Amino acid sequence: MLNEALSLKNEIKGILLYGFGGHARSVADVALKNGVSSLIFYDENAQQNEKFQGFAILPELPLVLPEGWFAFPAAGDAERRQSQFQDINKRGWPVNNIISSTATLGVLSEIGAGSFVGHHAHIGPKSQIGNGCIINTAAIVEHDCRIGNFTHISVNCTIAGKTTIGNCCFLGAASTAIDSITIGNNITLGAGGCFISDTLESGVYVGLPAKRIK
């Protein structure tokens, strides 16, 4: 539940972020602005003694997660983020949400574990967000929407009310889905594109209205 995740903020001592790509740095920015004081990044390609804002970037995972810490899947790519999420669960480490204090969250909205909500994003009332999702900077997911696991709603994207989106989708920057439609699994919508009807076949779509190109 969303409100339960937010209530844990003051109890968090630190976060282990899986990854050190651009999205991981955005996640770190939100965490730091939310008052988290300790971070560790894990990236298998980390350089020796590499740091970000004074925080270590490790090429190997620690054997034990410190008390009061949680781990977070911070890859931008859905497949890799899902793998990170599964690894965290396999290790039995706690996983939480990272939600910007500037985001607005509707009543009765719910967010699954390991999801990120960026600065100035909005999630409308009674919307449900799955595990490992990204609701990125200034994105809008309006009322009564259903977003599947490991789906990325990109910057300035707008999802109108009562729309359902499946698992492992990516809706690009400034793209749109109109109200009351259903989007299937493993679907990519290019930047600025618009879904205006139910779209169930996996693939890459572009344009307004969006057409499948592969």
The domain spans of the chain are 2-96, 99-207
The CATH superfamily assigned to 99-207 is Hexapeptide repeat proteins (2.160.10.10)
**Per-residue confidence (pLDDT) for residue 47, from 0 to 100:** 82
For residues 176 and 164, is the Cβ–Cβ distance under 8 A?
no
* Sheet of strand 203-206: strand arrangement: 98-99, 116-117, 134-135, 152-153, 170-171, 187-189, 203-206, 211-212
The fold of the 2-96 domain, in CATH, is: Rossmann fold (3.40.50)
Which distant-in-sequence residues (6+ apart) come within 8 Å of 2 by Cβ? 97, 99, 105, 109, 110, 111, 123
pTM for the full predicted model: 0.93
Residue 213: other Cβ atoms inside 10 A: 11
Side chain identity at residue 9, one-letter code: K
Which phi and psi (to 5°) does residue 171 adopt? -110, 115
Residues in a beta bridge with 110: 128
Do the bridges between strand 55-58 and strand 51-52 make them parallel or antiparallel, or are there none, so unpaired?
antiparallel
Tens of pLDDT, residue by residue, the chain (214 residues) = 343 443 344 578 999 999 999 999 999 999 999 999 999 999 998 888 888 889 999 999 999 998 999 999 999 999 999 999 999 999 999 999 999 999 999 999 999 999 999 999 999 999 999 999 999 999 999 999 999 999 999 999 999 999 999 999 999 999 999 999 999 999 999 999 999 999 999 999 999 999 999 7
